[in-house]
A = this chain, B = another copy of it.
Amino acid sequence: MSVRVDLNISLDGFMTTTDQTPESPFGEDWPRLVGAYVATRTFRRRVLHDESGEGTTGVDDAYAQAYFAEVGAEIMGAGMFGLHDHPDDPDWRGWWGDEPPFRVPVFVLTHTPRPALEMAGGTTFHFLSAGPTEVLERALEAAGGKDVRIGGGAAVVHDFLRAGLVDHLHVAIAPILLGRGARLWDGLRGLESGYAVTAETAPSGTIHLTFQR
């Protein structure tokens, strides 16, 4: 039962992209940042509901499988649920589809809580205004002995890392330089102490970096 973070970043340490336009809502950089992950068989099955068995296997897919295994609850920021774009819409149900990939209780941090939202496939979104320690307590309880994942976004992950609450950090580094965005590593000098740090390279060029308490 541990607290884990899984992230995609660029070589220069950016975990968000900033080239979104109305025509390209995710931007041109996003597919390059997460491309190797999105291409895996596990992502296609679990997130895109593609049961054809297509998608990459191997190193990237092993990490994708680990991403979903053993997670009993998830914590995310309001932005990751889409609340920043839909602040006043009480009917907004997130942008994760009718059957979100989480399939566990998800705790969404927001200053304006709303009623819980039960989705198909086992995902229930709970909305609460709380600090990292408090929401983690709730999530650990809901996880029933399994892991809790801090899903994002950037600011939320930072809060948990800086508070020393993360046991397992997996970072998939794409071999590209974004040059702009939110920096994962800022303000984390010396984070490696207290962790075993390992790295492994996938044929896709992705470097999988793991900090394990």
Contact = CB atoms under 8 A, between A and B. Distances in A.
A175 B189 contact: no
A155 interface: no
Nearest to A171: B11
Contacts of A12: 13, 183, 185-186, 188-189
Given A13-B12, A185-B12, A207-B207, A179 B190 contact: yes
A186 B205 CA distance: 21
A47 interface: no
Contact of A190 (B13, B177, B188, B209): B177
A179 B187 CA distance: 6
Given A11-B209, A209-B11, A175 B197 contact: yes
Interface string A163-199: 0000000000001111110010111111110000111
Interface of A: 11-13, 175-180, 183, 185-192, 197-201, 205, 207, 209
When A and B form their complex, which 3 residue pairs have the shortest distance between CB atoms, in order from nearest? A179-B189, A12-B185, A175-B197
Given A175-B209, A199-B207, 11 more contacts: A12-B185, A13-B185, A175-B197, A175-B199, A176-B190, A177-B189, A177-B192, A179-B187, A179-B190, A198-B201, A199-B201
